Amino acid sequence: MQPKVLFITPPFTQLNTAYPATAYLKGFLEIHDISVPHCDLSIELFTAVFSSGFLRDMFAEAQELDNNHYPEVSRMKAQYISCVDVVIAFLQKHDLKTAKNILNVDFLPAGHRLKHVNTKIKWAGGDIGIIDKAKHHATLFIEEIGDFIQANVDEFFAFTKYAEQIATSASSFNQIDEFLSYQPTLIEEKMLDILVAQIKNHNPKLVCFTIPFPGNLFAALRCSQFIKQLFPDIYVAFGGGYCNTELRSLEDPRIFEFVDFISLDDGEGPLLKLVSYLEGKIDINQLERTFVLENNQVVYKNKTPNTIYHHRNLPAPNYSGLPYHKYVSFLDVVNPMHRMWTDARWNKLTISHGCYWKQCSFCDVNLDYIGNYQNTTADDLVNKIEKIIKDTGITGFHFVDEAAPPKMLRALSNTLIERNLNITWWTNIRFEKTFDFELCQLMEKSGCIAVTGGLEVASDRLLSKMKKGVDIAQVTRVTHNFSQNNIMVHAYLMYGFPTETEQETIDSLEIVRQLFEKNCIQSAFWHQFTTTIHSPIGKNPEAFGITITGPVFEGFAQNDLYHKDPQGANHPKYTKGLNLALHNYLNNAGFNTPLQNWFNFPVLPTSHSKNLIESFLLEVTVK
């Protein structure tokens, strides 16, 4: 009998829908007759914490620790405890009756967030508006409790991460090791109770943790530490995005006190090898893309040639067994694109593996998840969509590609229409010229409601330096095509790219202002540029005019790099003003406000004309 494998998504990842990693691997292993239950420990822990019983313990713990941050929450603790079960049930089901109760003046406590609620928000009319307003108030209520927990009981607590601050840029394992030696917090004790119940229920031989982000690492380590103490015969494996990007140079053996295997890149091949190894069918040297400990040394086992499972041959992700009734919908920001990440339920699926472009100089193009591009057919993709709908009952899809290929989106749209399969979907794209009006129209007809894409720094010089393969005029035309077909557009924005000047930052903001004003984009988010070791910039910083200043690698994680940019502006000082301007544009306000007004220091006037974007749109009309 083959050993049972238990997959776990550690806290905290997503709370509104299931993260797809375990579903992908479950679907794959089960066609190889390997039993694979999976547990979303993220939503299980969240719903256990936000319950009346746990809140009583939490308030008692804060009192015992003599911590009294947010004293108004303590004063109203009875009301928080009495409301929390109703609020969570509402965020899971969104029923109108509970919405009206939540909006009653005396129902929710007037805590430090709710008493400052934005009363100027224009909610939709009728029942939808009532439910949305209640959802917003309920979200603020939950966030108040989260603030109290973080300030008084567990400094690592956050809604979409846990202890992220000690896992980010953790070139040394020292601090993580130190915190693992501390007694578990009240939150961690609850997490470990849920973990033990899962292990006793499934009796696995191997427990696998997917670690997509730095904010999942510490919780996974705390769980694996506990497994080693309580269930020493169980093997533990780590994999996922964090391992794939940050642990490729791993040398420190101390992490292997808690884990037996750390696998890189796609998990299908390494997991099948692990199972065969645990069955005694192969020896340890037959493992693929997997770190192990031998003679107190970290050793990378990678038998070549690797066993490759092509994207087109993989089965559909298997989401069955995940607690869809427990996921919650938050509404903290009313912006419609932000809602798509935090509110609705989505089945997550990839159209293609990797990126068909794989040239952007700031991206991890050297790694498998970007550089190894593999495609499939539209028929195969729609077959998977139909199976997932059958498994989950959900007809919303988020295609989580690095950049969905336009040819596949055309084929997918046509196949969905031909099969009369009604779904709602959105995805990430490049703003390339293939997305003409006709293709956007076809995508909308097939159920596409939104796209996200990297505008980055809205400067033709820097877009060329980035090797984005687009310019501002093209981005304008493409986003206009989507918006004309009622497909919402979210733009990822970047500031602080190597050699970016103050003039280019201000000009970029002006481009963003005009794109919003002309309704080419409806949503956006600023990121400050960070050099990563796997990107072309990280590998050849001198070619981009910067020097790497750290951090010194001390045997553990290696990804984000510090850099000095002698030619560029003082980028961090622009953060507040850029975000303030964007917040206004998101709310269709501030278009006539001078750019200088967003900043508390003198900035250069823009060098762009006020009708630059309009001129690009007029070129389309003339043609």
pLDDT at 332: 82
The total of other beta-carbon atoms located within 10 Å of residue 433's CB is 13
Tokens 């959900």, located at residue: 394
Q: In what order do the strands lie in the sheet with 547-550?
A: 531-532, 560-564, 547-550
CA distance 623 to 619: 6
The total of other beta-carbon atoms located within 10 Å of residue 427's CB is 23
Domain 5-42+163-310 and domain 333-622 have a common topology: no
Put simply, whether the predicted model's pTM sits higher than 0.75 gets the answer yes
pLDDT tens digits for range 411-434:
999 999 999 999 999 999 999 999
- CATH code that applies to domain 333-622: 3.80.30.20
Q: Residue 214, preceding bond cis, omega within 30 degrees?
A: no
CA distance 330 to 49: 16
CA distance 449 to 463: 27
pLDDT at 621: 59
Cβ-in-10-Å burial (0-12, 13-18, 19+) of 196 comes to middle
Distances in Å between the Cα of 321 and the Cα atoms of 181, 446, 539, 608 are 34, 29, 43, 54
3-state secondary structure 54-86: HHHHHHHHHHHCCCCCCHHHHHCHHHHHHHHHH
CB distance 440 to 493 below 8 Å = no
Measure the N-to-C terminal CA separation of the chain; round to a whole number of Å: 68
CA distance 151 to 160: 17
The total of other beta-carbon atoms located within 10 Å of residue 308's CB is 12
CA distance 453 to 448: 14
Determine the 3-state secondary structure of 399 from DSSP: strand
10-residue averages of pLDDT along the chain (623 residues): 84 92 96 94 97 98 95 97 98 94 95 92 90 95 97 92 80 96 97 98 97 96 98 97 97 98 97 96 97 98 93 94 94 76 87 95 93 95 97 95 96 98 97 97 98 95 95 97 97 96 98 98 94 96 96 95 94 96 92 98 97 91 52
CA distance 95 to 385: 28
Tokens 């099948």, located at residue: 272
- Written as one string, the DSSP assignment of 533-581 is TTSHHHH-GGGGT-EEEEPPP-SS---EEEEE-TTS--GGGGHHHHHHH
CB distance 440 to 485 below 8 Å = yes
pLDDT tens digits for range 370-382:
999 999 999 999 9
CA distance 395 to 391: 11
pLDDT at 1: 43
CB distance 293 to 257 below 8 Å = no
Task: Locate 261 and state its tokens.
Answer: 């295997």
Cβ-in-10-Å burial (0-12, 13-18, 19+) of 58 comes to buried
Domain spans in the chain, listed from the N-terminal domain onward = 5-42+163-310, 68-152, 333-622
Nearest alpha carbon to residue 22 among 34, 33, 11, 6: 6
**CATH architecture of the domain covering 5-42+163-310:** 3-Layer(aba) Sandwich (3.40)
pLDDT at 342: 77
The amino acid at residue 293 is: L
